[in-house]
Amino acid sequence: MKDCIFCKIVNKEIPSKIIYEDEHALAFLDIEPVNVGHTLVVPKKHFETIDKMDKEEYDKLSEAILKISKGIMCLADGLNVMQNNKEIAGQAVPHVHFHLIPRYNDDGYRFDWKKDEDVTEKENNEFLEKIKSFLK
């Protein structure tokens, strides 16, 4: 896609610190790392969000993510794998990307995941029934 920054990185129009590349995937260091080694893994083909990907492209991307994750786990004490879709979910660049964030015992980095006390069992049950109907 013409104006997509990640497509430009894939096409080497914009330089990046590439840590891995194959036919389908590119992995490079995030220019705004939240931790040392914060890596982005992207499909070379442009997909805005994960639901737009076909199985073959997703499988190939997953292989790269697994390979890189194994490498990071040799260098770090832990690893967060995150992927955001749409602005409401924190997606800053509309080209599918996985964040691989190495974690170190002394990094002090915290995720503030708290239970939302306002979520009711009724709402969750309704969601459960709806999502199951999509996955049949």
Other C-beta atoms closer than 10 Å to the C-beta of 38 total 16
Structure tokens at 87: 């602005």
Amino acid at 49: T
Among 44, 60, 95, 97, binds Zn ion (CB under 5 A): 95
Alpha-carbon gap, residue 134 to 136, rounded angstroms: 6
> Of the two residues 8 and 67, which places its CB atom closer to Zn ion in the complex?
8
Site for Zn ion in 3-22 (CB under 5 A): 4, 6-7
Q: Single out the segment in contact with Zn ion by CB under 5 A; choices: 29-37, 79-87, 93-101, 118-126.
A: 93-101
Tell me the helices (H) and strands (E) count for the chain, helix number first: 3, 5
For residue 106, the 8-state DSSP code is T
Closest residue to Zn ion using C-beta atoms: 4
Please tell me what DSSP assigns to residue 4: -
**Could you tell me the smallest distance in angstroms from the CB atom of residue 7 to Zn ion?**
3
1 is a contact residue toward Zn ion (CB under 5 A): yes
Residues that bind Zn ion (CB under 5 A): 1, 4, 6-7, 46, 95
Catalytic residues: 97
